[in-house]
Amino acid sequence: FVGQSESLGMNNPVQMSEVYIIGAQPLCSQLAGLSQGQKKLCHLYQDHMQYIGEGAKTGIKECQYQFRHRRWNCSTVDNTSVFGRVMQIGSRETAFTYAVSAAGVVNAMSRACREGELSTCGCSRAARPKDLPRDWLWGGCGDNIDYGYRFAKEFVDARERERIHAKGSYESARILMNLHNNEAGRRTVYNLADVACKCHGVSGSCSLKTCWLQLADFRKVGDALKEKYDSAAAMRLNSRGKLVQVNSRFNSPTTQDLVYIDPSPDYCVRNESTGSLGTQGRLCNKTSEGMDGCELMCCGRGYDQFKTVQTERCHCKFHWCCYVKCKKCTEIVDQFVCK
């Protein structure tokens, strides 16, 4: 695995995203929510900050996609950060948000290196895979996942590492939980990266191939983390201040699994202290028996029915050459909204 001892280190990337996306090069001192160590890194690596913000935003978007049919949909009542108060309890949902945003940062940094956007890194220098056929070339410009991993670890984890806490306290358990989930997110990106190749040779004969390391599509990372969310491990602090699994009959979670320490609220009603928005006003599916079904989504409160007009492109025809012409079809559809 990539070198882990190095220390770059950041605040919850989620809070940063909004700030970074607005200004091109904001002054580090003006960024809200940076920890001391993160401010230092910000000064040292100003050109990295935009990508940290973009990465976190990608993570958040993926979170909203993965949870679009769930009661908790990755939004909160608190507008100071995208996830706001949900982060105050150490739930599975919090675990997912830390992992997916850390993953987004690795993803964005690795790609930025490859694209030559950063002064301190370039194409991947990963070693040639042993199983690559001998006559294929290794050395196209690949995503620099080693660098992305290391910088994301340094920056994203810095905030947790700086927090002052008493050993054995709830706070210390949250720090351990956050660090574990950040790492799980980063490793997911790392492990899903794969070799990509391009053909050369006379008129596409593909007699020659050049290969490089390439990030997986971020949707794959989201899907993998969603599975980890479903199987996340409940943890508690032991007497030596370490996180251990509540149910000791199960195998201990690995560094790639998600962990949590608090049970989740049901997210049915709005509750400022847990950051639950409640499901009133959410769309639901009348015929589904899953989480998106009106029964579960509306928590048994019932739903209202509306008719809405939907417009879609339809009867599309391809014209030579080269455009597609469509008609507009409108349809009246029933929609169901939680009471």
Site residues for ligand NAG per CB under 6 A: 64, 73, 75, 79, 265, 271, 273-274, 277-279, 281-282, 285, 287-288
Q: Where are the alpha helices (DSSP H) in 168-272?
A: 170-192, 218-230
What is the three-class DSSP state of 312? strand
Cα–Cα distance list, 209 to 126, 134, 293 (Å): 17, 10, 49
> Shortest approach of ligand NAG to residue 80 CB, angstroms?
6
CA 48 remoteness from chain centre: 18
Q: Which residue has the tokens 């920890």?
A: 35
Pairing outcome for strands 208-214 and 194-200: antiparallel
> Shortest approach of ligand NAG to residue 314 CB, angstroms?
17
The residue (of 46 and 288) whose beta carbon lies closer to ligand NAG is 288
The answer to whether 29 touches 39, Cβ cutoff 8 Å, is: yes
The residue (of 37 and 84) whose beta carbon lies closer to ligand NAG is 84
In the structure encoding, which two tokens stand for residue 223, read together?
Answer: 């899907």
In the structure encoding, which two tokens stand for residue 41, read together?
Answer: 């890194």
The residue (of 64 and 245) whose beta carbon lies closer to ligand NAG is 64
Sheet (strand 233-237) strand order:
243-245, 233-237, 259-260
> Shortest approach of ligand NAG to residue 278 CB, angstroms?
6
Residue 94 CB neighbours (<10 A): 24
Residue 252 CB neighbours (<10 A): 12
> Shortest approach of ligand NAG to residue 212 CB, angstroms?
35
The residue (of 245 and 271) whose beta carbon lies closer to ligand NAG is 271
> Shortest approach of ligand NAG to residue 52 CB, angstroms?
19
* Cα 79 to Cα 61: distance, rounded to the nearest angstrom: 16
The residue (of 11 and 144) whose beta carbon lies closer to ligand NAG is 11
The residue (of 243 and 277) whose beta carbon lies closer to ligand NAG is 277
> Shortest approach of ligand NAG to residue 62 CB, angstroms?
12
